[in-house]
Structure 1
Amino acid sequence: MTPLSTQDRLDGVALLVLRLGLVWFIFLWAAHKIITPAQYQGLAQHYDGVSLDNAQTYALAGAQIAICLLALFGIMRLFSYGALLVMHFFTVTRRLDGFLDPFALNERGFPIHRNQVIDLAVLAAMIALILLIRRDNFSIGGWLRRRAGTFKWWM
């Protein structure tokens, strides 16, 4: 295994920071499903017309947290990073109305759709993480790839 160049280390650190931030973002949403399941159940009913009980909500949160842990350590990177992207994309599709009116204000003058703008930035960051997966050197998958000497999509 050859040592990393300075540029490879910088790229790896940048992607580590990006990955940690994105995992934390999704983890918070998943953890809130455990902390306040009724809130998520109300959202699922409102946006998707789906009724969930506590056990289903906890199971969904558990699966999301498991994916967050895989992504946190960079294990099965294409799967775990892709799953983060799919989870977030699902949320983005539920809030399309805010993209059509990004400057809407409530009666007190507060912007009501600015979270949708944040959603787009996070979605772009997740796409970038996947596109730069070969430069993700400070992950278990990156370490395995360097050790094997070749890129393998499942790492």
Structure 2
Amino acid sequence: MAFHEKITLSSQDKMDAVALLVLRLGLAWFIFLWAAHKIITPGQYQDLARNFDGVEVSLSQVYLAGGAQIALCLLVALGVLRYFSYGSLLIMHFFTVTRRWEGFFDPFAVNERGFPVNRNQVIDLAVLAALIALVLLIRRDHFSVGGWLARHDRARWWM
């Protein structure tokens, strides 16, 4: 296809693209909030690494991880390097889910004050499913930088 040729999207393609835009922005925002908290409250993440993983991490390591995650979220929000950025968020979140699997077996557990203690794990599964769907539907994600470049047959590596 030549650079001057324009691909027109059907109304169904546009609806799919809008749905994926909403999904992509929502997922990027969700993960961004967790990443930003690494920058805002790094000590909390040092405690989590110590208590959940049994490892000590420095403040600079927490800041580095948070910064890398924020950068990934920006790539996802824009739809740049889609296979890399969407896939990276999926793998990162999958790792989180595998570390918290025990809560999936007791989703209705409450603490002594009646607070549901495992609901974040249940939310994690929904987010994981949404990230899988986003990766599977990359080729229908037309309202992204990568989608625009693909429609205009430019710079395939940006897709």
Partner of 1:18: 23
Partner of 2:116: 111
Judge conservation of contact 1:79–1:154 (CA < 8 Å) in 2.
Answer: no
54-63 or 11-20: which moved more? 54-63
Instruction: State the TM-score, normalizing by the size of structure 2.
Output: 0.92
1:133 aligns with 2:138: yes
Separation in structure 1 between the aligned mates of residue 151 and residue 140 of structure 2, nearest angstrom:
11
Paired amino acid for 1:55? S
Query: Which of 55, 72, 80 is the matching residue for 1:67?
Result: 72
Deviation string 1:77-136 (CA, Å, 9 cap, x unpaired) is 011001111111111111111011112121122221111111100000000000011100
Q: Identity over the aligned pairs, expressed in percent?
A: 70
1:41 aligns with 2:46: yes
Q: CA RMSD in A?
A: 1.4
Partner of 1:120: 125
Separation in structure 1 between the aligned mates of residue 119 and residue 20 of structure 2, nearest angstrom:
26
Deviation string 1:21-67 (CA, Å, 9 cap, x unpaired) is 00001100110000000001100111111211111111111111111
Judge conservation of contact 1:92–1:116 (CA < 8 Å) in 2.
Answer: yes
Could you tell me which runs of 5 or more consecutive residues in structure 2 were left unpaired when the two chains were aligned: 1-5
Query: Which of 98, 105, 118 is the matching residue for 1:93?
Result: 98
Over 3 Å counting, the alpha-carbon distance change for 1:153 and 1:92 in structure 2 is farther
Instruction: State the TM-score, normalizing by the size of structure 1.
Output: 0.94
Q: Aligned pair count? A: 153
